[in-house]
Amino acid sequence: MTEKFEPRSIHRPVGSYSHVMKVSAKELVFVAGQVPVDRNGNVVGINPNDKIRNHQSIDLAAQLRQTFLNVKAALEEAGASMKDIVRLDTYVVASTMNEYRTVGTKVRGEMLGDAHPPGATVFVAGLMIPDVLVEISAIAAIG
């Protein structure tokens, strides 16, 4: 069972998250940072024929959707779902900061629906895999 709180003594959430979530659960599910790599090991959202690839030529929306699908698959394997997420942390390559502010909100809404788990969005210099612009980790509570 989860209960969300928005303390009146602090600002309203800026985006689709909650400030506080109280959780009663029998089990917690921790999902390692997921990246936009498909089942075959390919980074999505890139054109393999693009010889001079830069972050502006990578499809951030496609990468976000694949990353959320990977989080969803990991949760489902453990008996949880996207609605069970109680913390969601997102790491985004800083060069896409402005694009993420619009695209990220849209895709997050598509993938999470009415769920607004607490978490953080952090802009970073880079991620482990070249051409990956986003990584998402999650904690879910079930039971």
Task: Give the pLDDT confidence of 89-140 residue by residue, as tens digits.
Answer: 999 999 999 999 999 999 999 999 988 899 999 999 999 998 999 999 999 9
The C-alpha atoms of residue 30 and residue 87 are separated, in whole angstroms, by 10
pLDDT tens per residue across span 59-95: 999 999 999 999 999 999 999 999 999 999 999 999 9
Q: Which domain, by its residues, includes 8?
A: 2-142
CA-to-CA separations, 19 to 50, 84, 116, in angstroms, rounded? 41, 16, 9
Per DSSP, 110 falls in state H
| Structural domains in the chain (count) | 1
CATH number of the structural domain spanning residue 85: 3.30.1330.40
